[in-house]
Structure 1
Amino acid sequence: MLKALFFSLILLSAPSLAAKKTDDGSHVQPDNYYPRVKLETSMGDIVIELDRRRAPITVNNFLRYVDKRSYDDTLFQRIISGYIVQGGGYTLDYEEKSSYPAIFNESGNGLKNERYTVAMARQNDPHTATRQFFFNLDDNDNLDPGRTWGYTVFGTVVEGYDVVDAMGEVETEYKALLGFADAPVENVILKKATVLPPIM
Protein backbone atom coordinates (compact mmCIF):
# COMPACT_ATOMS: atom_id res chain seq x y z
CA MET A 1 0.00 0.00 0.00
CA LEU A 2 2.76 2.43 1.00
CA LYS A 3 4.81 1.45 -2.06
CA ALA A 4 1.84 2.09 -4.34
CA LEU A 5 1.26 5.47 -2.70
CA PHE A 6 4.95 6.35 -3.13
CA PHE A 7 4.87 5.60 -6.86
CA SER A 8 1.61 7.52 -7.24
CA LEU A 9 3.24 10.58 -5.70
CA ILE A 10 6.19 10.28 -8.09
CA LEU A 11 3.88 10.11 -11.09
CA LEU A 12 1.87 13.09 -9.90
CA SER A 13 4.93 15.23 -9.28
CA ALA A 14 6.91 14.24 -12.39
CA PRO A 15 5.08 16.50 -14.88
CA SER A 16 5.50 19.60 -12.71
CA LEU A 17 9.18 18.86 -12.20
CA ALA A 18 9.64 18.40 -15.93
CA ALA A 19 7.81 21.64 -16.67
CA LYS A 20 10.01 23.53 -14.22
CA LYS A 21 13.18 22.03 -15.69
CA THR A 22 12.35 22.97 -19.28
CA ASP A 23 10.91 26.42 -18.56
CA ASP A 24 14.36 27.97 -18.96
CA GLY A 25 14.15 27.80 -22.76
CA SER A 26 16.38 24.74 -23.12
CA HIS A 27 13.43 22.84 -24.61
CA VAL A 28 13.46 25.05 -27.73
CA GLN A 29 15.42 23.16 -30.42
CA PRO A 30 17.51 21.51 -27.66
CA ASP A 31 19.95 19.86 -30.10
CA ASN A 32 20.58 23.04 -32.11
CA TYR A 33 23.63 25.00 -30.95
CA TYR A 34 22.92 27.84 -33.37
CA PRO A 35 19.15 28.49 -33.47
CA ARG A 36 17.93 31.35 -35.62
CA VAL A 37 15.22 33.84 -34.71
CA LYS A 38 13.35 36.09 -37.12
CA LEU A 39 12.46 39.52 -35.79
CA GLU A 40 9.68 41.20 -37.76
CA THR A 41 9.92 44.92 -37.04
CA SER A 42 8.11 48.03 -38.21
CA MET A 43 11.20 48.83 -40.29
CA GLY A 44 11.76 45.40 -41.84
CA ASP A 45 12.85 41.89 -40.95
CA ILE A 46 16.02 40.85 -39.12
CA VAL A 47 17.34 37.32 -38.66
CA ILE A 48 19.74 36.64 -35.80
CA GLU A 49 21.76 33.50 -35.18
CA LEU A 50 22.25 32.63 -31.52
CA ASP A 51 25.35 30.97 -30.06
CA ARG A 52 24.27 28.35 -27.56
CA ARG A 53 27.79 26.92 -27.27
CA ARG A 54 29.27 30.15 -25.95
CA ALA A 55 26.23 31.56 -24.12
CA PRO A 56 23.87 28.70 -23.22
CA ILE A 57 22.14 30.39 -20.28
CA THR A 58 21.59 33.62 -22.19
CA VAL A 59 20.39 31.95 -25.39
CA ASN A 60 17.95 29.71 -23.52
CA ASN A 61 16.65 32.72 -21.61
CA PHE A 62 16.12 34.67 -24.85
CA LEU A 63 14.41 31.70 -26.51
CA ARG A 64 11.87 31.27 -23.72
CA TYR A 65 10.66 34.83 -24.22
CA VAL A 66 10.44 34.17 -27.97
CA ASP A 67 8.69 30.84 -27.41
CA LYS A 68 6.06 32.47 -25.19
CA ARG A 69 5.54 35.32 -27.73
CA SER A 70 6.58 37.75 -25.02
CA TYR A 71 8.64 39.90 -27.38
CA ASP A 72 5.73 40.43 -29.76
CA ASP A 73 4.51 44.03 -29.92
CA THR A 74 7.34 45.49 -27.87
CA LEU A 75 9.38 48.64 -28.45
CA PHE A 76 12.95 49.40 -29.32
CA GLN A 77 12.87 52.18 -26.75
CA ARG A 78 16.50 53.28 -26.68
CA ILE A 79 18.49 54.11 -29.80
CA ILE A 80 21.87 55.82 -29.84
CA SER A 81 23.21 56.45 -33.33
CA GLY A 82 26.49 54.67 -33.98
CA TYR A 83 26.22 52.80 -30.69
CA ILE A 84 23.20 50.59 -29.85
CA VAL A 85 19.55 49.78 -30.56
CA GLN A 86 17.91 48.46 -27.40
CA GLY A 87 14.49 46.87 -26.90
CA GLY A 88 12.39 43.95 -25.78
CA GLY A 89 11.15 45.21 -22.44
CA TYR A 90 8.28 47.64 -23.01
CA THR A 91 4.81 47.57 -24.50
CA LEU A 92 3.74 50.04 -27.17
CA ASP A 93 2.45 52.26 -24.34
CA TYR A 94 5.86 52.25 -22.64
CA GLU A 95 4.69 49.96 -19.87
CA GLU A 96 7.36 47.61 -18.56
CA LYS A 97 6.69 43.95 -19.27
CA SER A 98 7.07 41.23 -16.64
CA SER A 99 10.31 39.28 -16.61
CA TYR A 100 11.74 35.98 -15.48
CA PRO A 101 14.42 36.15 -12.77
CA ALA A 102 17.74 37.70 -13.76
CA ILE A 103 20.37 35.42 -15.28
CA PHE A 104 24.09 34.84 -14.77
CA ASN A 105 26.38 37.13 -16.75
CA GLU A 106 28.20 35.15 -19.47
CA SER A 107 30.21 38.07 -20.86
CA GLY A 108 33.48 36.15 -20.44
CA ASN A 109 32.50 33.71 -23.20
CA GLY A 110 34.95 35.09 -25.77
CA LEU A 111 32.32 36.84 -27.89
CA LYS A 112 32.89 40.57 -28.36
CA ASN A 113 30.46 43.47 -28.67
CA GLU A 114 31.25 43.94 -32.33
CA ARG A 115 29.08 45.55 -34.99
CA TYR A 116 25.86 43.61 -35.70
CA THR A 117 26.19 41.38 -32.64
CA VAL A 118 23.31 40.98 -30.18
CA ALA A 119 23.89 41.36 -26.44
CA MET A 120 21.89 41.49 -23.24
CA ALA A 121 21.10 44.79 -21.55
CA ARG A 122 21.48 44.94 -17.78
CA GLN A 123 21.70 47.32 -14.83
CA ASN A 124 24.94 48.23 -13.04
CA ASP A 125 25.01 44.91 -11.21
CA PRO A 126 26.51 42.41 -13.67
CA HIS A 127 23.95 39.67 -13.04
CA THR A 128 20.75 41.67 -13.68
CA ALA A 129 19.94 40.86 -17.33
CA THR A 130 16.36 39.66 -17.83
CA ARG A 131 14.66 40.30 -21.17
CA GLN A 132 16.04 43.45 -22.79
CA PHE A 133 18.64 43.07 -25.52
CA PHE A 134 20.49 45.34 -27.94
CA PHE A 135 22.17 45.40 -31.32
CA ASN A 136 25.67 46.81 -31.47
CA LEU A 137 25.89 49.43 -34.21
CA ASP A 138 29.69 49.59 -33.99
CA ASP A 139 32.59 47.72 -32.41
CA ASN A 140 31.81 48.66 -28.81
CA ASP A 141 34.81 47.27 -26.97
CA ASN A 142 33.89 49.38 -23.92
CA LEU A 143 31.06 46.88 -23.36
CA ASP A 144 33.41 43.87 -23.31
CA PRO A 145 34.68 42.39 -20.03
CA GLY A 146 38.03 43.51 -18.67
CA ARG A 147 38.70 44.33 -15.05
CA THR A 148 34.93 44.37 -14.62
CA TRP A 149 32.03 42.37 -16.06
CA GLY A 150 30.91 43.20 -19.58
CA TYR A 151 27.68 42.80 -21.50
CA THR A 152 26.94 39.29 -22.72
CA VAL A 153 27.01 38.79 -26.48
CA PHE A 154 24.86 35.83 -27.44
CA GLY A 155 24.25 36.11 -31.17
CA THR A 156 24.77 38.01 -34.39
CA VAL A 157 22.69 39.44 -37.21
CA VAL A 158 22.80 37.24 -40.32
CA GLU A 159 20.07 38.97 -42.35
CA GLY A 160 18.68 42.50 -42.25
CA TYR A 161 21.85 44.51 -41.68
CA ASP A 162 20.24 47.40 -43.55
CA VAL A 163 17.28 47.32 -41.17
CA VAL A 164 19.55 47.52 -38.12
CA ASP A 165 21.46 50.40 -39.72
CA ALA A 166 18.19 52.22 -40.49
CA MET A 167 17.03 51.79 -36.90
CA GLY A 168 20.23 53.42 -35.73
CA GLU A 169 19.46 56.54 -37.75
CA VAL A 170 15.92 57.31 -36.55
CA GLU A 171 15.20 60.61 -34.85
CA THR A 172 15.17 60.39 -31.06
CA GLU A 173 14.07 62.58 -28.18
CA TYR A 174 13.94 62.77 -24.42
CA LYS A 175 10.53 61.65 -23.14
CA ALA A 176 10.27 63.70 -19.95
CA LEU A 177 7.09 62.10 -18.57
CA LEU A 178 8.71 58.67 -18.75
CA GLY A 179 12.27 59.67 -18.01
CA PHE A 180 13.45 58.01 -21.21
CA ALA A 181 16.47 59.41 -23.02
CA ASP A 182 17.27 58.50 -26.64
CA ALA A 183 13.70 57.33 -27.33
CA PRO A 184 12.54 57.25 -30.97
CA VAL A 185 10.17 60.07 -31.92
CA GLU A 186 8.15 57.52 -33.90
CA ASN A 187 7.84 54.08 -32.37
CA VAL A 188 10.15 51.39 -33.67
CA ILE A 189 8.26 48.18 -33.01
CA LEU A 190 9.23 44.53 -32.69
CA LYS A 191 6.02 43.11 -34.12
CA LYS A 192 6.86 39.43 -33.88
CA ALA A 193 9.74 37.15 -32.90
CA THR A 194 9.79 33.59 -34.25
CA VAL A 195 12.22 30.69 -33.94
CA LEU A 196 13.06 29.52 -37.46
CA PRO A 197 13.33 25.83 -38.46
CA PRO A 198 16.85 24.43 -38.08
CA ILE A 199 19.15 24.65 -41.09
CA MET A 200 19.64 21.14 -42.42
Structure 2
Amino acid sequence: MSSSTLPRRSLILGAGLVLTAPQLALAQGAKPRVTMKTAQGTIVIELEDQKAPLTSANFLRYVDAKAYDGGQFFRAARSDWAPTEGTIVAQPPATARPFPPIRHESTTLTGLSHTHGTISLGRFAPGTATNTFFICLGDQSFLDARPDQPGDNLGYAAFGKVVSGLPTAQKILAQPTGGETKFADQKDQWLKTPVIIETLRRV
Protein backbone atom coordinates (compact mmCIF):
# COMPACT_ATOMS: atom_id res chain seq x y z
CA MET A 1 0.00 0.00 0.00
CA SER A 2 1.53 3.25 -1.12
CA SER A 3 0.05 6.66 -0.44
CA SER A 4 1.78 8.14 -3.45
CA THR A 5 1.80 5.48 -6.17
CA LEU A 6 -1.11 3.05 -5.85
CA PRO A 7 -4.38 3.68 -7.69
CA ARG A 8 -7.37 5.07 -5.80
CA ARG A 9 -8.24 2.26 -5.13
CA SER A 10 -11.27 -7.83 11.75
CA LEU A 11 -20.24 -9.47 27.05
CA ILE A 12 -18.53 -10.90 29.62
CA LEU A 13 -20.62 -10.50 32.74
CA GLY A 14 -19.05 -11.34 36.08
CA ALA A 15 -20.68 -14.23 37.92
CA GLY A 16 -23.78 -12.93 39.69
CA LEU A 17 -23.51 -9.46 38.09
CA VAL A 18 -26.88 -8.00 37.12
CA LEU A 19 -27.19 -5.00 34.81
CA THR A 20 -30.20 -2.78 34.30
CA ALA A 21 -31.55 -2.56 30.74
CA PRO A 22 -29.87 0.82 29.93
CA GLN A 23 -26.53 -0.43 31.29
CA LEU A 24 -26.77 -3.61 29.27
CA ALA A 25 -27.55 -1.68 26.10
CA LEU A 26 -24.54 0.52 26.71
CA ALA A 27 -22.25 -2.47 27.22
CA GLN A 28 -23.50 -4.15 24.06
CA GLY A 29 -23.18 -0.96 22.03
CA ALA A 30 -19.64 -0.09 23.06
CA LYS A 31 -17.10 -0.22 20.25
CA PRO A 32 -14.18 -2.59 20.87
CA ARG A 33 -10.80 -1.02 21.61
CA VAL A 34 -7.29 -2.39 21.44
CA THR A 35 -4.06 -1.15 22.99
CA MET A 36 -0.88 -1.49 20.99
CA LYS A 37 2.41 -1.12 22.86
CA THR A 38 5.35 -0.34 20.59
CA ALA A 39 8.99 0.53 21.06
CA GLN A 40 8.02 4.17 20.39
CA GLY A 41 5.00 4.33 22.72
CA THR A 42 1.39 3.23 23.06
CA ILE A 43 -1.49 3.58 20.60
CA VAL A 44 -5.16 2.93 21.43
CA ILE A 45 -7.50 2.11 18.55
CA GLU A 46 -11.31 1.98 18.49
CA LEU A 47 -12.84 -0.37 15.92
CA GLU A 48 -15.94 0.31 13.84
CA ASP A 49 -17.31 -3.20 14.30
CA GLN A 50 -20.83 -2.17 13.27
CA LYS A 51 -19.85 -0.36 10.09
CA ALA A 52 -16.99 -2.71 9.10
CA PRO A 53 -17.89 -5.97 10.89
CA LEU A 54 -15.92 -8.37 8.70
CA THR A 55 -12.67 -6.40 8.77
CA SER A 56 -12.96 -5.61 12.48
CA ALA A 57 -13.58 -9.28 13.33
CA ASN A 58 -10.61 -10.30 11.20
CA PHE A 59 -8.32 -7.87 13.03
CA LEU A 60 -9.58 -8.97 16.45
CA ARG A 61 -8.98 -12.59 15.48
CA TYR A 62 -5.28 -11.80 15.07
CA VAL A 63 -5.27 -9.71 18.25
CA ASP A 64 -6.84 -12.51 20.30
CA ALA A 65 -4.32 -14.98 18.87
CA LYS A 66 -1.53 -12.58 19.98
CA ALA A 67 -0.34 -12.77 16.39
CA TYR A 68 0.93 -9.17 16.32
CA ASP A 69 3.21 -9.59 19.35
CA GLY A 70 6.76 -9.21 18.07
CA GLY A 71 5.51 -7.81 14.79
CA GLN A 72 6.67 -4.48 13.43
CA PHE A 73 5.95 -1.22 11.69
CA PHE A 74 8.23 -1.64 8.71
CA ARG A 75 7.19 1.16 6.40
CA ALA A 76 6.61 4.90 6.66
CA ALA A 77 5.21 6.37 3.44
CA ARG A 78 5.50 10.12 3.95
CA SER A 79 3.63 12.45 1.63
CA ASP A 80 5.85 14.46 -0.69
CA TRP A 81 3.70 17.55 -0.14
CA ALA A 82 3.59 17.21 3.67
CA PRO A 83 6.30 15.04 5.33
CA THR A 84 4.35 14.96 8.61
CA GLU A 85 1.51 13.20 6.80
CA GLY A 86 1.35 9.76 5.24
CA THR A 87 0.87 6.17 6.37
CA ILE A 88 2.68 3.76 8.67
CA VAL A 89 2.40 0.08 7.80
CA ALA A 90 2.66 -2.89 10.17
CA GLN A 91 2.57 -6.67 10.05
CA PRO A 92 2.95 -9.67 12.39
CA PRO A 93 6.28 -11.47 12.70
CA ALA A 94 7.19 -13.79 9.82
CA THR A 95 6.51 -16.79 12.04
CA ALA A 96 2.83 -15.86 12.44
CA ARG A 97 0.70 -17.89 10.04
CA PRO A 98 -2.07 -15.82 8.43
CA PHE A 99 -5.71 -16.80 8.53
CA PRO A 100 -7.50 -17.10 5.17
CA PRO A 101 -8.02 -13.80 3.29
CA ILE A 102 -11.31 -11.98 3.80
CA ARG A 103 -13.83 -10.35 1.52
CA HIS A 104 -13.07 -6.70 0.83
CA GLU A 105 -15.25 -4.21 2.75
CA SER A 106 -15.15 -1.14 0.56
CA THR A 107 -15.59 2.34 2.01
CA THR A 108 -18.64 2.69 -0.24
CA LEU A 109 -20.20 -0.09 1.84
CA THR A 110 -19.03 1.04 5.27
CA GLY A 111 -19.36 4.80 4.90
CA LEU A 112 -15.91 5.22 6.47
CA SER A 113 -13.08 7.33 5.06
CA HIS A 114 -9.31 7.42 5.39
CA THR A 115 -9.15 10.51 7.57
CA HIS A 116 -6.48 11.42 10.12
CA GLY A 117 -5.93 8.53 12.54
CA THR A 118 -7.81 5.89 10.53
CA ILE A 119 -6.64 2.27 10.67
CA SER A 120 -7.14 0.25 7.51
CA LEU A 121 -6.32 -3.17 6.11
CA GLY A 122 -3.57 -3.58 3.53
CA ARG A 123 -4.16 -5.66 0.41
CA PHE A 124 -3.05 -6.47 -3.09
CA ALA A 125 -6.11 -7.43 -5.21
CA PRO A 126 -9.53 -7.16 -3.55
CA GLY A 127 -10.15 -10.24 -1.44
CA THR A 128 -6.48 -10.89 -0.63
CA ALA A 129 -6.25 -8.99 2.69
CA THR A 130 -5.08 -10.86 5.79
CA ASN A 131 -3.06 -9.20 8.57
CA THR A 132 -1.09 -6.22 7.26
CA PHE A 133 -2.59 -2.92 8.43
CA PHE A 134 -1.76 0.77 8.21
CA ILE A 135 -2.56 3.98 10.07
CA CYS A 136 -3.21 7.27 8.29
CA LEU A 137 -1.53 10.47 9.48
CA GLY A 138 -3.39 13.33 7.89
CA ASP A 139 -6.42 12.86 5.65
CA GLN A 140 -5.76 10.27 2.93
CA SER A 141 -9.12 10.22 1.16
CA PHE A 142 -7.52 9.05 -2.09
CA LEU A 143 -7.31 5.63 -0.39
CA ASP A 144 -11.13 5.45 -0.31
CA ALA A 145 -13.08 3.61 -2.99
CA ARG A 146 -13.72 5.65 -6.12
CA PRO A 147 -16.29 3.80 -8.22
CA ASP A 148 -16.19 6.47 -10.91
CA GLN A 149 -12.52 5.79 -11.65
CA PRO A 150 -11.11 3.08 -13.96
CA GLY A 151 -9.14 0.03 -12.86
CA ASP A 152 -8.93 -1.18 -9.26
CA ASN A 153 -11.07 1.55 -7.75
CA LEU A 154 -12.25 -0.24 -4.59
CA GLY A 155 -9.79 1.45 -2.24
CA TYR A 156 -8.82 0.00 1.12
CA ALA A 157 -10.94 -1.29 4.01
CA ALA A 158 -10.96 1.30 6.80
CA PHE A 159 -12.19 -0.23 10.05
CA GLY A 160 -11.36 2.03 12.99
CA LYS A 161 -9.52 5.04 14.35
CA VAL A 162 -6.73 5.95 16.76
CA VAL A 163 -8.31 7.48 19.87
CA SER A 164 -5.08 7.87 21.85
CA GLY A 165 -1.41 7.87 20.91
CA LEU A 166 -1.34 9.83 17.66
CA PRO A 167 2.00 11.40 18.74
CA THR A 168 3.42 7.86 18.88
CA ALA A 169 2.18 7.21 15.35
CA GLN A 170 3.79 10.49 14.25
CA LYS A 171 7.09 9.39 15.80
CA ILE A 172 6.95 6.16 13.82
CA LEU A 173 6.23 8.09 10.61
CA ALA A 174 9.30 10.26 11.29
CA GLN A 175 11.73 7.33 11.70
CA PRO A 176 14.64 7.14 9.21
CA THR A 177 13.74 5.40 5.96
CA GLY A 178 15.87 3.93 3.18
CA GLY A 179 15.65 0.34 4.34
CA GLU A 180 15.89 -2.48 1.81
CA THR A 181 12.76 -3.41 -0.15
CA LYS A 182 12.07 -5.47 -3.26
CA PHE A 183 9.22 -3.17 -4.29
CA ALA A 184 10.44 -0.42 -6.59
CA ASP A 185 7.45 1.84 -5.88
CA GLN A 186 8.24 1.70 -2.15
CA LYS A 187 11.84 2.84 -2.42
CA ASP A 188 12.82 5.15 0.48
CA GLN A 189 9.69 4.17 2.42
CA TRP A 190 10.90 1.15 4.39
CA LEU A 191 12.31 1.90 7.82
CA LYS A 192 16.00 1.35 8.37
CA THR A 193 15.11 0.03 11.83
CA PRO A 194 11.54 -1.32 12.08
CA VAL A 195 9.52 -0.30 15.13
CA ILE A 196 8.63 -3.40 17.15
CA ILE A 197 5.06 -4.09 18.29
CA GLU A 198 5.54 -5.44 21.81
CA THR A 199 1.90 -6.38 22.46
CA LEU A 200 -1.52 -5.76 20.95
CA ARG A 201 -4.48 -6.51 23.24
CA ARG A 202 -8.17 -5.75 23.66
CA VAL A 203 -8.78 -3.08 26.26
Q: TM-score range by the shorter chain?
A: 0.7 to 0.9
Matched, 1:174 2:179: yes
Matched, 1:85 2:92: no
Q: Provide the secondary structure at the position in 1 that maps to 2:69.
A: coil
Give per-residue Cα distances to partners, 1:164-190, cap 9 Å, x unaligned: 1111111111315x6574221122011
Distance in 2 of aligned mates of 1:192 and 1:151: 25
> Is 1:158 equivalent to 2:163 in the alignment?
yes
Give the match for residue 103 of structure 1.
102
SS at match of 1:173: coil
- Name 2:135's counterpart in structure 1: 135
The residue aligned with 1:7 is: none
Q: SS state of the match for residue 142, structure 2? A: helix
Aligned AA (2:55):
T
CA contact (8 A) 2:46 2:161 kept: yes
2:37 alignment counterpart:
40
Letter paired with 1:60: A
Structure 1 CA distance, aligned partners of 2:90 and 2:115? 18
Cα deviations across residues 117-140 of structure 1 (Å, max 9, x unaligned)? 1000000x1111100100011211
- SS of 1:188 mapped into structure 2: strand
1:76 corresponds, among 53, 73, 81, to 73
TM-score (normalised: structure 2): 0.75
Q: Select between 42-51 and 147-156 the one with higher mean Cα deviation.
A: 147-156
Q: If the length of structure 1 is used for normalisation, what is the TM-score?
A: 0.76
Q: Which runs of 4+ in 1 moved over 2 A?
A: 27-33, 178-181
What is the match of residue 185 of structure 1?
Answer: 192
| Structure with max Cα Rg | 1
Residue aligning to 1:122: 123
Which consecutive residues of structure 2, in runs of 5 or more, have no partner in the other structure? 1-9, 14-26, 79-84, 148-152
Q: Is 1:195 the equivalent of 2:196?
A: no
C-alpha RMSD of matched pairs (Å): 2.2
Counterparts of 1:161 and 1:52 in 2: how far apart (Å)? 21
Alignment coverage as a number of residue pairs:
165
Quote the Cα distance in structure 2 between the aligned partners of 1:77 and 1:69: 18
The one-letter code sitting in structure 1 at the alignment partner of 2:116 is: R
